C-alpha cells in the first residue's frame, strides 16, 4: 500500500460526509434564497458549486499534506491579510458600498473578504507559536507571555476590522483567542481574571470607543437592547424592517415549513413581497430562508449537522500529536461556532444584526474556500496523528 493511498484510507470519513452534506444543503438553499434576484437563483448556485469544486481541491491537498508543512503558510497569509485590511481602510481596491467589506482585484472582478483570511492564518500562527517558541526559551511557557502573544496576534486585526466597520467579523476573534488560551495551557484563574477585566472595560468601550470607530455598530446594539427590553419588534419601514420580517418568516414556518421555493400564495415572506432583505437573503440571512421553507425540522437538522461537525473536530483535537494540531483544531471550532451563533442568533433576535455568513451554507465565495481549507487542516491533523515529532511541554 502506497503512503498516499494509506493517507486517503485513513481520512476521517465522518468529517468528509458531514462537510459535503452541509455544502450540498447550502447550494439548494442558495438557489431558493436568490431566485428573486436579477441573475436568478441558479446563477448563484452554480457559482457556489464552482467554489465548492475549487475548495475540494484545496481540502484534499491540505488534508493529505502534513500540517507541519502547511503551518509555514501562516505568517505570509497573516501579514498579507493585515495588508489587505489596511488597503480596505484606505479605500484601495475596495468594493463599492459602505456596507461591503470586500476588496476587488482590478481587471478581474474577483472580490474577496480579507477578514476570514486573517482569522484562519491567525489560528495557525497561534498554534505554531505555542508549538515552536517553548523550544527556543522557557519564558514562552509562561501564561502571561502566552496571553500577550495571543493578544498581539488577535488584537491587531481585531482593531483593523473594527475600524473598517465590520463588527460582526471582529467579534469572531474573541472566542478564537479565548479557546486558544484555554487549549494552550493558560490556567483557568488567569482566564477568569481576563473575563472580569474585559467586563469592566465594556462600559468605556461601548460609550467612548465604539461610537468613534463604528457608529452603525452602536446603533445596532441599541436597537437590539430596545427590542430585548420590550420583548417585541415594532413593525416599521426603518431600522426594524429587517429584524421584524426575518423573525416573522422564521416564526410562521412551524414544524414542517412552507416548502422548498414556497410561493407568496403559500404565505412566503421571501417570495413576491421579498420582505427578507433581497441582496443578502442568500448569504447573511440564509437561515431565515431555510427556517421559513424547511421549518423547525429543517433548521434542527442543519444545526445538528453543525454540532456533529464541531464534535468531530474536537475529537480530532483530542487525538492530535502536538500543540499545533490541538490549537488549530480548537480554533476552527471557535471560529465556526462564532459564525453559526451570530448568523442564526441575529435571525431569531438572540443577538444584534451583524451580517455574517453561515459556514458552508451561505453564498460566500472565498469564505467557503477558507472554511474548506481549515477543515482540510483538521483532516490533516487526524491523518498524521500517529507521526511523532519531538516533545513540547513534556508531551509528544
Four-residue CA torsion sign, 28, 255, 239, 339: negative
Measured in degrees and rounded to the nearest 5, phi and psi for residue 25 equal: -60, -40
d(CA 330, CA 174): 13
SS3 call for 1: coil
360: left (phi over 0), alpha (psi -120 to 50) or beta: left
Q: Where are the beta strands (DSSP E) in the chain?
A: 103-104, 111-112
SS3 call for 94: strand
Q: Interior CA angle at 112 toward 109 and 113, to 5°?
A: 150
Whether the model clears a pTM of 0.85, i.e. scores above it, the answer is: yes
Q: Tell me which residue of 279, 299, 276 sits closest to 287, measured CA to CA.
A: 299
Provide the residue-wise pLDDT of the chain in tens; the chain has 396 residues: 688 888 888 899 999 999 999 999 999 999 998 888 888 889 999 999 999 999 999 999 999 999 888 888 889 999 999 999 898 888 887 777 655 677 887 777 677 788 888 999 999 999 989 888 888 888 988 889 999 999 999 999 998 888 887 788 888 999 999 999 999 888 988 889 888 988 888 888 877 777 776 667 777 787 778 777 777 777 777 777 778 778 888 888 888 888 888 887 777 777 766 677 777 888 888 998 999 999 999 999 999 999 999 999 999 999 888 888 999 999 999 999 999 999 999 888 888 888 789 999 999 888 999 999 999 999 999 999 887 654 434 344
Amino acid at each position: 500500500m502506497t503512503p498516499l493511498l494509506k493517507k486517503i484510507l485513513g481520512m476521517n470519513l465522518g468529517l468528509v460526509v458531514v462537510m459535503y452534506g452541509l455544502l450540498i444543503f447550502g447550494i439548494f438553499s442558495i438557489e431558493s434564497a436568490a431566485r428573486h434576484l436579477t441573475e436568478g437563483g441558479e446563477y448563484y448556485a452554480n457559482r457556489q458549486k464552482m467554489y465548492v469544486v475549487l475548495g475540494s481541491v484545496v481540502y484534499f491537498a491540505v488534508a493529505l499534506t502534513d500540517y507541519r508543512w502547511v503551518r509555514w503558510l501562516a505568517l505570509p497569509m497573516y501579514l498579507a491579510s493585515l495588508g489587505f485590511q489596511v488597503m480596505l481602510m484606505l479605500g484601495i481596491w475596495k468594493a463599492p458600498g459602505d456596507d461591503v467589506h470586500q476588496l476587488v482585484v482590478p481587471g478581474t472582478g474577483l472580490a474577496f473578504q480579507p477578514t476570514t483570511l486573517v482569522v484562519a492564518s491567525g489560528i495557525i500562527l497561534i498554534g505554531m507559536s505555542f508549538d515552536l517558541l517553548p523550544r527556543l526559551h522557557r519564558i514562552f511557557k509562561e501564561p502571561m507571555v502566552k496571553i500577550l502573544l495571543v493578544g498581539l496576534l488577535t488584537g491587531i486585526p481585531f482593531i483593523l476590522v473594527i475600524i473598517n466597520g465590520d463588527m460582526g467579523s471582529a467579534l469572531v476573534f474573541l472566542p478564537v483567542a479565548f479557546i486558544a488560551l484555554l487549549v494552550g495551557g493558560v490556567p483557568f484563574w488567569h482566564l477568569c481574571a481576563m473575563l472580569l477585566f474585559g467586563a469592566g472595560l465594556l462600559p468605556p468601550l461601548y460609550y467612548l470607543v465604539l461610537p468613534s470607530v463604528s457608529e452603525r455598530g452602536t446603533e445596532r446594539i441599541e436597537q437590539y437592547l430596545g427590542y430585548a427590553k420590550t420583548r417585541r419588534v415594532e413593525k416599521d419601514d426603518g431600522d426594524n424592517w429587517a429584524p421584524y420580517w426575518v423573525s416573522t418568516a422564521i416564526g410562521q414556518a412551524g414544524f414542517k415549513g412552507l416548502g422548498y421555493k414556497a410561493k407568496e400564495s403559500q404565505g412566503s415572506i421571501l417570495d413576491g413581497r421579498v420582505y427578507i432583505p433581497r441582496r443578502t437573503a442568500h448569504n447573511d440571512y440564509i437561515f431565515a430562508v431555510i427556517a421559513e421553507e424547511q421549518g423547525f425540522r429543517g433548521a434542527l437538522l442543519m444545526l445538528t449537522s453543525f454540532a456533529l461537525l464541531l464534535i468531530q473536530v474536537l475529537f480530532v483535537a483530542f487525538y492530535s500529536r502536538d500543540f499545533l494540531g490541538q490549537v488549530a483544531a480548537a480554533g476552527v471550532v471557535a471560529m465556526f461556532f462564532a459564525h453559526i451563533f451570530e448568523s442564526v442568533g441575529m435571525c431569531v433576535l438572540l443577538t444584534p444584526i451583524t451580517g455574517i455568513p453561515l459556514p458552508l451554507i451561505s453564498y460566500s465565495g472565498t469564505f467557503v474556500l477558507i472554511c474548506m481549507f481549515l477543515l482540510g487542516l483538521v483532516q490533516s491533523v487526524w491523518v498524521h496523528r500517529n507521526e511523532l515529532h519531538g516533545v513540547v511541554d513534556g508531551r509528544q
